[in-house]
Each structure stands twice: as C-alpha cells, then as structure tokens.
Amino acid sequence: MDLSYSSEERAFEAEVRDFLENNLPDHIAAAVRSGGELTGEMMQEWHRILSAKGWLATTWPEKYGGPGWTPVQRHIFEVECNRFHAPRIVPFGLAMLGPVIQKFGNDRQKAEVLPGILSAEDWWCQGYSEPGAGSDLASLKTRAERDGDDYVINGQKTWTTLGQFANKIFCLVRTKFEGKPQEGISFILVDLDTPGIEMRPIRLIEGGYEVNEVFFTDVRVPAENLVGEENQGWTIAKFLLTHERTNIAGIGVSMQALEEVKALARKTRRNGRPLIEDPLFASRVAQAEIDLEAMKITNLRMLYQAQKQGYPGPETSILKIKGTVINQELRDLARRALGPSAAPFPGAITDGNLALSPPDTANNAARYFNNRKTSIFGGSNEIQRNILTKTMLEL
Amino acid sequence: MHFDLTEDRQMLADTLNRYLANQYGIEARNAAAYEAPFHDPSKWTEMVELGIAGALVPEEQGGFGGAGFDIAVVFEALGRALCPEPFLGTLLAARLLGAAGADMEALVSGETRYAVGLGEIDAAYDLDLIETAAKASGDGYVLNGRKSAVYGGQDADVLLVLAKLDGKAAIFSVEASAANVVGYGMIDGGGAAEVLLEETAATLLVEGAEAAVADAVAAGRLALCAEAVGAMEANYEILLEYLKTRKQFGRPIGSFQVLQHRTVDLLTEIEQARSITISAAASLGDEDASLKAAMAKNLVGRAARLVAEESIQMHGGIAMTWEYAASHYGKRLVMLDAQLGDTDQCLTEVMQSYAA
C-alpha cells in the first residue's frame, strides 16, 4: 500500500499540467468553467488536440493506439483535466464502442472503426434505450430483418446523447422474436446519413439540448456491420456497460465541484460570517468531502484490481452508485450556496446589462438539475444494485 | 501508488486471522469478553508472541512496524474476530512512549500491559479541557483528578495519563497499583476503567505533549477504523449467509429486492470505509494525519452504525439474541464510535479546517 505518487507519477502529473496549460484553448476552458452548453465544434476541437498528442483514447491498450497508461496515470489525467476546465471526453466511441470492437470486432471492423475514433474524425453515438425499454433494456423492439446482404432496421431509439453532432451510431436491435428476449439481440453499426434515419431533439429539464430521439424507417445497413455473432448482442451490451462504469465515478468532476462549493461559500456571507463557517452548511460540505476522499481511493482500488485481473468486475457498480450521489450532493451544495442568486434562468434575462448572478455561477441551478441524470443513465443506480445483488447473493 | 500489502504484512495478517479463527472463535470470545478481567490474559500473551505488540512499534524503538498500515493490518484482524484483548492501550502507549523516547522493551515483550487515560467525564474528546493536574512533589510529581474510559485499564500494569502541568498538557506514567482503578466490562465486550488519582505518585514522560497526544489519537482512531472494517466485513458475511438460507414466504429472504438493495448499500459503505481507512493509514505521521484520521473516523462511524442497525433489522428477531454472533458485532460497531472522538466530533474537526 502506498498512496503517494512515485517520482515517475509526479513527472507525469507535471507533463499533463504543462500540456494543458499550453494546449487547452482559452475559449473552451471558459465555456466549461461557466457550466453552459458546449458547442459540437468545441468538443471536436479538444478531441483533435488530444488525438494529436496521443492522449485521446486513455483506456485503450497500446496495440490499438492507446497511451498504455496505468490506472493512476488515468486518475492524474482526469483530475488535472478537470482542474484546468477541459471538456469531458465524449465517451461513446472511446470508452464504449472502442473496447467492444477490440474484443468482439473482426479484423476488418478493427481496421475501419478504430482509426476513426482515435483520430476524432468519427463521432459515434449510442442507440440503446427505447421508449418502452429503459431499465428493462432486453425488451427492446427496434427490429433488424435480414434481406439479402443487408439488414433492414425499423423502430425508435431514445436518449441518444449528443447525437446531433454524430455521424455514426451503434445500436442494439432485435434479430430474433421468439425465446428469451436477451437471446434475440444483435449489435450493429449504422451510418447516420443512411436514408430513413431521423433525429429529433429532446429538451431537458434545465432547458438544454443534449439528447435525441432517433427514428429508423426501412434503414438498409450492410450485414457486415454486425459486430460479433447475430443474437450475441446482449453479451456485448453488458460488456460495454461494465466498461462504461469504470469511467463513471466522476472523481475529477467532483473534486472540481468541491473546490467550487468551497470558493462560493467563502465569498458568500450568512449570519454575519462566511457561509463556509456556518456549522450547518460546513457540516454538509465536510461530509461530502469525506465521502469524496474515500471515493477517490475506492475508484483507484477498483481500477487497480480491474487492471490486475484484466477486466472490470461487477463491483465497479459501486463506483456508479456512490460516485454519482456524491457529485449530485456537491452540485446541490453549490446551488444552495448561491441562494436566491441561483434562480435567474440563463437565456431568460430581459436586460442583458444587469448581471443577476455572480460571474461563473449563472448555470449553477441548471447544472444541478441536469446532473440528476447521472444516477439514471448508464444503468440506473437501482439497476446497478440488481447487478451487484446477483454476484453477491448468488440467488 | 499501489494497493498491495507487503509480504510481511500479509503474513502477519494471515497469522493473526488464523490464530483468532482457531483459538478465539465467537464462543471463546464471548466467554472472555463479558467476564472479569474482560479479556483472556493467556491469549493476550500468545498474541504478543505472534508479534502484535512488536508490529505496533517502529524498528528504531525496538519493534518491527509502527507504520499506519501495520496498525491497520493488526486491528482489522482483531475486529474481524471481535477480539477483546486490550491492544488499543498498547498502541496508544507505544505512540506516547515513542514521543518520550522511552524504553519499550517491556511493551514489545508483553511483560508490561499499558493503558492510556486521555479523556475525562466532562471532557470526553476536548482534551484541552481536562482537569486532572500534576504538581511537583519531592523528586517527582503527584496527580489529582479522574480519568474516564481508560480502555484496558481494568487489567493494566502501568497507566499513561494526560494531565495539566502548569496549565500545559503533559503525559505521566503511573503504576496501576498506586491509583484507585475502578474497572468495568463494557456492553460490547472488553473492559475499561475509571482511574481516580489522589496525590498519586507519577513520573513525567512528555512535557508540552499536544503533538504527542494528537499523534496517539490519530493512531488510535486509525486502529478503531481498521477494527470496524474487519468487524463490518465479518458482520456482512454473516448477513449474506442468512439472506441466502433463511426462508420466508417459501423462498430465501435474499430474493426480496427491498433487502437486496439495502445489502448493496452496506457493501458500498464498507468499501468506502476501507478506502478512507487506507487514507488515514497512509497519512499517519504526516502533517495531515489528524485531519485524515478525523475524516476516516467520521465516515467509519457512520458506516459501522449503518451496518450494525441494518444487519439487526434485516436478520429479524435472531440478531436480537445473545446467542447469535451478529448481535455482538452490532454492539461493537455501534459503541466503537464513542472511542477517541465520535462522528460528530470528527466532523467538527474537519469543519474547523475550513475556517480561514
């Protein structure tokens, strides 16, 4: 056991800081700092900068073009990126599809799909959930029927995050209609410019636009776009979701949120003293800080274990369950620290000359509401508990 | 950064776990823990021979450990077995004797059993508010006052006592036979004592002892956290087994989602407790040791009480019985919170770090 950074790890930290200082564009950092929506161009610009450095696919093994980092190096990179207000790396190609293709894809798919993700040229989005298939994902109904060398896809996907910027989508589709629902699902890659696909925005609780509905009407997709065997999709889907979880504790984001809460609470005064010295408020901050301190180590312990055994286990569900709740608590504290100043609705201020919220905090309530999603997406925290139950109780 | 135990520590853990499982199972434990002297002196001796005391003392002071992770390994094993042997006193004494540069041969060999008196009835955790006072007398000192919750004090040879000397914190050594020691057994097993000092002869060990006491408290809190982690894991295993085997409504009660999700929440908190204990162990002896130990004791206190209460509830009536091991785990997990600073006290200490 040793929690201190080795000299190599300290040197790596310095290298990351140096890179971020010199390569993260100011206009992007400012947008992240403000907590508002980022444009697709901003995200893509940052992806390309990381790609050029070889630091985009942080979890990929070296043989596929990843940097071959240890879990500790990934942790350092994540923390520093958040400290410098770098945008989150869009995970759908890098953290989800990439590992799937590496594990289940054939050589042609590896050669065609992986370079596009690595260079940030392709923007993948996810076609998993459906209006009738949320937590019960296996009940999905979007069908792919074989017709010659093609599959013909009909149905509807939803909650497709950042689909408005994507050029490709990976989908779970039903290829068998009898038997156990899990045994009739396939995993297929689709170009979004294929005729018959329509993407419609869903406006979210805070007013923002980040998710979409995707409609498929007689969409013809070459059969060679199938990943793995037909009807093997459920295995792939589970593999993908396990990989997603190793990146989901949100340690870097929460560390940054904690700093923000403390900074706000030092500036704001209540009952004649800084809010941070108010016992009720400070006790909530302290408890969140303690939980986060533990979570940092839980995250590293589990990533370390995953690396040792070669794959992430079901215990990584703990990272999702606890990591999201800590992050939500911190966003709640930030909102509460602002008090009534959190209320002005960005974009709905009639006199633009009058600053109603302190600078950099205008989106705080919006971020609080938006962040309620984290305990729902990627398998809700209740589904994570079901996953853990299965392994623990062996019932 | 890495998360592997050294080979030596892994061996110590294996040795202790094996000894405790074979020689100090729950029945032997209960027989010793609730009857005077509230531990088993012969087992104490055997455990010292296995190296427990030496593992709590640094090499340059005659032991072979003394680092945060040595302490964590020892107390996790003790907690797993609910061991009532008074090694917390050994640890606290080792820290204070180390600060004094005193000889520790008798501590490491187990020849002398130490207990440490820090808090008092009106100053359980606020150690600057204690009233026990020392004054010079002849070549030495005498103490007046009353120390409370002296863990292991019911069967100690030597007491190390925190007292004010000219208004400042100091540590004195007192022969147990020279003080009025009122021993008692605790509700969760093991023993402690009230120590009444009336013109009691004492030897000055550490003057200006704030830093030494802070170090001892940080080490003691770490030990209690590790003990709780061991006890929580053992309690959790008992609960899991019960959920799998106990049938109601014609099926195992573990098949009910309302119990499944609550069980997962316990697992989550136990993992968090282990993590924060690692954080405290890594920091022991560093500048932020007290802060990290306070953080750990706060989280562990919350987790331990949750595990205890939920385990009792989910078991149903059986865990309310003396007969069933989980009831004893539950008591220990709840009551150790009050030792050396509870969740509220520790949270307050973390909050104080925010004040400019």
Report yes or no on B228 lying in a domain. yes
Q: Which residue in this structure is represented by tokens 């949750």?
A: B306
3-state secondary structure A47-83: HHHHHHHCCCCCCCCHHHCCCCCCHHHHHHHHHHHHH
The CA distances from residue B275 to B204, B279, B281, in Å, are 38, 6, 10
**Residue A178 exposed, middle or buried by CB count within 10 Å (0-12, 13-18, 19+):** exposed
Query: Are both B162 and B216 inside the same structural domain?
Result: no
Q: Which residue in this structure is represented by tokens 């000219």?
A: B166
Domains of chain A, earliest start first: 7-89 (no CATH), 123-231 (2.40.110.10), 248-345+353-393 (1.20.140.10)
Query: Are both B86 and B62 inside the same structural domain?
Result: yes
Query: Are both B103 and B20 inside the same structural domain?
Result: yes
Where is the domain boundary, B207, B242, B257? B207
Percent of chain A with pLDDT over 70: 96
Instruction: Give the CA diameter of chain B.
Output: 77
Taking only the tens place, the pLDDT of each residue in A234-273 is: 999 999 988 777 777 899 999 999 999 999 999 999 999 9
Taking only the tens place, the pLDDT of each residue in B51-81 is: 999 999 999 999 999 999 999 999 999 999 9
Q: Decide if pLDDT at A392 tops 90.
A: no
- The CATH number that applies at residue B60 is 1.10.540.10
Residue with the bigger pLDDT between B219 and A348: it is B219
* pLDDT score recorded for residue B22: 97
The CA distances from residue A261 to A264, A282, A362, B229, in Å, are 5, 10, 14, 30
Q: Quick one: tokens of A73? A: 């190096």
Q: Which of A244, A259, A315, A382 is catalytic?
A: A244
Chain A residues whose beta carbon lies within 8 Å of the beta carbon of residue B254: 393, 395
Average pLDDT in chain A: 93
Query: Are both B238 and B249 inside the same structural domain?
Result: yes
| Non-local CB neighbours of A232 within 8 Å, separated by 6+ positions | A104, A186, A187
Taking only the tens place, the pLDDT of each residue in B164-201 is: 999 999 999 999 999 999 999 999 999 999 999 999 99
Report yes or no on B134 lying in a domain. yes
| Non-local CB neighbours of A301 within 8 Å, separated by 6+ positions | B3, B271, B274, B275, B278
Where is the domain boundary, B188, B207, B226? B207
Q: Decide if pLDDT at A347 tops 80.
A: no
Percent of chain B with pLDDT over 70: 100
Taking only the tens place, the pLDDT of each residue in B3-53 is: 999 999 999 999 999 999 999 999 999 999 999 999 999 999 999 999 999
A351-357 mean pLDDT = 60
Pick from B272, B274, B279: which is nearest to A3 by CB? B279
Task: Locate the chain B residue with the closest alpha carbon to A289.
Answer: B295
Residue with the bigger pLDDT between A304 and A141: it is A141
Subunit contact A389:B299, Cβ cutoff 8 A: no
* pLDDT score recorded for residue A356: 60
Q: What is the dihedral of CA A278, A280, A284, A285, to 10 degrees?
A: 0
Query: Are both B181 and B283 inside the same structural domain?
Result: no
Q: Decide if pLDDT at B223 tops 90.
A: yes
Query: Are both B61 and B129 inside the same structural domain?
Result: no
Taking only the tens place, the pLDDT of each residue in A108-165 is: 999 999 999 999 999 999 999 999 999 999 999 999 999 999 999 999 999 999 999 9
Q: Quick one: tokens of B56? A: 């709590």
Could you give the residue ranges of the DSSP H alpha helices within B184-256? 210-245
Q: Give CA–CA dist A357/A370, Å, rounded.
A: 18
Report yes or no on B2 lying in a domain. no
Report yes or no on B303 lying in a domain. yes
Give me the domain span that covers residue B322: 212-352
Report yes or no on B63 lying in a domain. yes
Query: Are both B280 and B260 inside the same structural domain?
Result: yes
Cα-to-chain-centroid distance, residue A61? 20
Taking only the tens place, the pLDDT of each residue in A268-303 is: 999 999 999 999 999 999 999 999 999 999 999 998
The interface residues of chain B toward chain A in range 261-290, judged by CB-CB distance below 8 A, are 261, 263-265, 267-268, 271-276, 278-279, 281-282
Q: Decide if pLDDT at A352 tops 70.
A: no
> Is A41 assigned a catalytic role?
no
Q: Give CA–CA dist A374/A283, Å, rounded.
A: 24
Query: Are both B92 and B67 inside the same structural domain?
Result: yes
Least confident of A39-43, A59-63, A391-395: A391-395
Query: Are both B312 and B265 inside the same structural domain?
Result: yes
Stated pTM of the model? 0.95
Number of folded domains in chain B? 3
Q: Decide if pLDDT at A357 tops 70.
A: no
Whether the ipTM is more than 0.90: the answer is: yes
Q: Decide if pLDDT at A359 tops 80.
A: no
Query: Are both B14 and B101 inside the same structural domain?
Result: yes
Percent of chain A with pLDDT over 90: 81
- The CATH number that applies at residue B227 is 1.20.140.10
- The CATH number that applies at residue B130 is 2.40.110.10
Query: Are both B126 and B144 inside the same structural domain?
Result: yes
Query: Are both B87 and B131 inside the same structural domain?
Result: no
Taking only the tens place, the pLDDT of each residue in A48-64 is: 999 999 999 998 999 99
pLDDT band at B281 (very low <50, low <70, confident <90, very high): very high
Interface check for A288 against chain B (CB to CB < 8 A): the answer is no
Report yes or no on B1 lying in a domain. no
pLDDT band at A349 (very low <50, low <70, confident <90, very high): low
Subunit contact B272:A294, Cβ cutoff 8 A: yes
Where is the domain boundary, B112, B127, B147? B112
